Amino acid sequence: MSYYNRELKFAIDVVRKASIITEWFRKKGIESFSFKKSDQSPVTLADFASQIYLISQLREYFQDDQIIAEEENIEFIDLKAENLIKQCFEELNLNELEILKENIGYHGRSSERQWTIDPIDGTIGYQKGLSYAIGVGFMIESNPKICAIGVPNYNEEALAIFSAEKDQGAQVSYNKNVFKPIKVNHNEDIHKIRLCHSLHYDQPWVLNFAQDIGIENFIQIDSMAKFCMVADGTADLYIKPLDPEHSFTWDFMPGDLLVREAGGSVTDLNGEGLKFKERKCLWTKPGIIASNSKLQKKIIELIKRKDLS
Ligand SMILES: [Mg+2]
């Protein structure tokens, strides 16, 4: 029985519309309208437009809930940027929205009901015309309950929307509102593993380790689409290095729930499940392993035996 049907439907709907916004900017060729955040990571006008839209919808439909969202630098949005966002919303018939710059920094009310928003995950990939995703998650008392992840141009489809609800399984839609269940695969043979790893934020130990244990097949892409590939069986394993300064709830909560609901496992390098506290994703050893459950113990044992430093 679904306990969060309303939240799930909402998340799927807003992720679909947000992806239309991000693709609007990409097709206009203004994806390079970008800025550097204080940590030197890029952010584009499309990140802001997507987040403004997502937060405006949460304010309308779930006004008592808390919002944990990635972007906060409203100073980047000058008049020219604001006008471009307005033009986007008007052309997409989202003109019932007021352009509220303060939506960027709006966190809702402190609540046990918390939404996480990553308006564009994989911004470098987005800027280069490669893979990216839009991720929305919902938690009660920091426990993941639902997620929706939109991945434009997934498997040569215009848009894949992955979603999951706690204890209700995971699903994907390539066509509006037609969802089919997804499951991780059953591969246990290390030599047949297809490993997903990061295109722009990898660390050398990931590939060194993978090659050491005999992995031969690699899928290198940006964004939480890597979790989607493990969840639907396209890949067997995803190894993600973690930087303590950049372990955020919006990056990992949707993919964590999706893979677990598809029958897979997600843990840190010690084999402990991820935990979430407000903005922070918590772990005991800095790295994430997502796999079909059969591989998880084996990979963690192998990682423990290696000196990864
Ligand atoms: Mg982002």
Share of the chain above pLDDT 70, in %: 97
Greatest alpha-carbon span in the chain: 57
Find where tokens 């047949």 sit: 192
Q: Give residue 205 CA to ligand 1 midpoint distance, Å.
A: 24
Mean pLDDT of 229-242: 96
For residue 302, how far is its CA from the centre of ligand 1 (angstroms)? 32
The confidence score (pLDDT) of residue 96 equals 67
Least confident of 59-68, 99-108, 206-215, 295-304: 99-108
Q: Which amino acid does the sequence have at 15?
A: V
94 within 8 A of 53, measured Cβ to Cβ: yes
Distance from the CA of 223 to the center of ligand 1, in angstroms? 9
Q: What is the pLDDT of residue 308?
A: 62
> Cα of 88 to ligand 1 centre, how many Å?
19
Query: What is the structure's pLDDT at 301?
Result: 94
Q: Count CB neighbours of 205 within 10 A.
A: 17
Say how many Å lie between the CA of residue 38 and the centre of ligand 1.
14
Coil/strand/helix, residue 50? helix
Q: Ligand 1: distance of its center to the CA of 293 in Å?
A: 28
Tell the burial category of 228 from Cβ atoms under 10 Å away from its Cβ (0-12, 13-18, 19+).
buried
- The whole-number pLDDT of residue 151 equals 97
Q: For residues 248-259, give the mean pLDDT.
A: 98
Asked if the model's pLDDT at residue 31 lies above 70, the reply is: no
Q: Residue 243: is its pLDDT beyond 90?
A: no
Condensed to tens digits (0 to 9), the pLDDT of residues 134-152 reads 999 999 999 999 999 999 9
Mean pLDDT computed over 72-90: 88
- Tell me how many helices (H) and strands (E) the chain has: 8, 16
Question: In terms of residues, how long is the chain?
Answer: 309
**16-25, 95-104, 116-125, range with the lowest pLDDT:** 95-104
- Find the helix packing angle between 5-28 and 45-61, rounded to 10°: 150
Residue 32 has pLDDT above 70, yes or no: no
d(CA 211, CA 219): 14
Ligand 1 centroid to Cα of residue 7, in Å, is 21
User: Residue 307: its pLDDT value, please?
Assistant: 65
pLDDT above 90 covers a percentage of the chain that reads: 74
**Going from the N-terminus, what domains does the chain have, and what CATH number goes with each?**
5-182 (3.30.540.10), 190-305 (3.40.190.80)
Give the Å distance between the CA of 121 and the centre of ligand 1.
Answer: 4
How far away, in angstroms, is 70 Cα from ligand 1 center? 6
